[in-house]
Amino acid sequence: MTSSSLDIAIIGAGFGGIGLAVQLKRAGFDNFTIFERATDVGGVWRDNTYPGAACDVPSRMYSFSFEQEFPWSERFGQQPEILTYLKHCAEKFGILPQIRFDTEIRDAAFDAETNKWRVSTAGGEDVMADLLVSAVGLFNQPFIPDLPGRKNFGGPQFHSSCWDHDCSLDGKTVAVIGTGASAIQFVPEIAPRVGRLLVFQRSPQYVLPRDVRPVSQGRTVLDSMGRRLDRLCIYVEQEKRTRRRGSPRMTAQGQAAFLARLESEIPDPELRWKLTPSYPLGCKRVLQSNDWYPALLRDNVEVIDRPVTQIDATGVSTGDGGHFDTDVIIYGTGFTPTKYLTPLTITGMDGTDLNQAWREGAEAYLGMTVAGFPNFFMMYGPNTNIAGSIIYMLESQARYIVSAARLLRGQRIGRLALRKPVQDAFNRQVQDRLGATVLVADTCHSYFQDPSGKVTTQWPGFMYQYRRLTRRIRRSDFEFA
């Protein structure tokens, strides 16, 4: 098998798929195809068009290291500009001709006789691949709570990731269910337009101020050096936040600073009590906004901290018997990140379904490959999310997958199969390390955890540690056939 004959199938044309494609091209692999179910690149940045959609990682770090000349207009990229950046990268590095748009992958099965993956599209086509990579991401399946009566509501209702731009909110009474990362962005945007805004909060969030320094553009040699220094400073600050997760002292300091800011910004003690988290800083995603608290202080905004129990034709009911008439319902209830690869069906050796293999919680070696599923890799897989830049993590994964492809292209290697003891030892270490962090605090449950409480999304250490572990593939971790 040569580099030119190695057929590689990639599912998803977001940051992961585009970044891997660039690395493959640079390594001399040309026979790869990206299968994208939509009509354009972008993943979550194509789909999430709600007002105020933006990244909470500075643009200089939330971008590929090999493409830093893009002229970001803001320190934190807004959704349209991030999508433009991804399109720019796909065009600049010649990736577009190798993307099949409007092609949804339904399932894939490994054939042990041929050492190939049979990848099946929703249109009924079968494609054979020597190497299969899932780059579908972590936040691709919206979560809408199955509340009684939801289908009986008489007005418009939609999830933030499927924003209905034809629905006018001007002067309307709008109910927002959920106060996660999306809600803290779109609530300040719509609050001045609506007549009344009802914000239903299950649990308060730690919302920290956002850095407003200008972005370094890097248009000259000296500016380029400043741009690199800016990126390095962002990186160091993010690693510092990761360190805080395992440090009670740093956690306590961060909480004290947050509470002091909350007291200065929210003078009303009743509202401040509603917005005060009862769990440690860092056990859930820490959010960033300079507009969230001012929006909640508006006269037309009400924070309701009682659980929503039912929806009827006219509005929303809470567990204490309260009923709130509303014209529009917006779900800011997030996604299902612990349900990896949903709705794909991946079948490995001996007919093993990956979902069955993950019945006790998703896990993978380095978050990328699973025993019993040869020649298969994931990007943004189990335990690779980070309190930093996922783009940094994705680039590490792309390098590792390219090194796997280099092994596979040898004439005598058709199957690259992870050894089960390697996977088990790695994941025991991951869970042991996570057990020493605030992520497993008894007082909170987050999207970091699956229903059993096992943390299946987060990387337990620093970004540099993951980069070191994935700098090249170790032959001793695998069996060959």
240 is a domain residue: no
Kindly state whether residues 394 and 311 are assigned to the same domain. no
Kindly state whether residues 290 and 313 are assigned to the same domain. yes
- Return the H-helix or E-strand segment holding 47: helix 44-47
113 is a domain residue: yes
Instruction: Say what percent of the chain tops pLDDT 70.
Output: 97
The structural domain count of the chain equals: 2
User: What average pLDDT does the structure give for the chain?
Assistant: 93
State the pLDDT at residue 220.
52
Q: List residues bridging with 323 in a β-sheet.
A: 317
Distance, CA of 256 to CA of 206 (rounded, Å):
11
What value does the mean pLDDT take over residues 398-410? 92
How much helix, strand and coil, in percent to the nearest 5, is found in the chain? 30, 20, 50
Count of Cβ atoms closer than 10 Å to residue 321 Cβ: 8
pLDDT tens readout for residues 305-345: 999 999 999 999 999 999 999 999 999 999 887 788 878 89
pLDDT tens readout for residues 41-58: 999 999 999 999 999 999
* Of the residues 286, 314, 331, the one at which a domain ends: 331
What value does the mean pLDDT take over residues 177-205? 97
253 is a domain residue: yes
44 is a domain residue: yes
Cβ distance 6 to 408 under 8 Å?
yes
pLDDT tens readout for residues 218-250: 555 447 788 889 899 999 999 988 888 888 899
Kindly state whether residues 55 and 39 are assigned to the same domain. yes
226 is a domain residue: no
For residue 339 the two structure tokens come to 């349900």
What value does the mean pLDDT take over residues 71-100? 96
Cβ distance 226 to 216 under 8 Å?
yes
411 is a domain residue: yes
Query: Which residue range is the domain that position 189 belongs to?
Result: 150-206+246-331
Kindly state whether residues 356 and 461 are assigned to the same domain. yes
- Return the H-helix or E-strand segment holding 393: helix 390-408
What value does the mean pLDDT take over residues 455-460? 94
Residue 217 pLDDT level (bands cut at 50, 70, 90): low
Distance, CA of 239 to CA of 15 (rounded, Å):
21
Kindly state whether residues 105 and 201 are assigned to the same domain. no
231 is a domain residue: no
Q: Is the pLDDT of residue 2 over 50?
A: no
State the pLDDT at residue 141.
84
* Residue 263: CATH number of its domain: 3.50.50.60
Residue 411 pLDDT level (bands cut at 50, 70, 90): low
Kindly state whether residues 29 and 53 are assigned to the same domain. yes
State the pLDDT at residue 396.
98
* Of the residues 285, 303, 331, the one at which a domain ends: 331
For residue 26 the two structure tokens come to 């640079």
State the pLDDT at residue 308.
96
212 is a domain residue: no
State phi, psi for 277 to the nearest 5 degrees: -65, 150
* Of the residues 288, 307, 331, the one at which a domain ends: 331
Residue 1 pLDDT level (bands cut at 50, 70, 90): very low
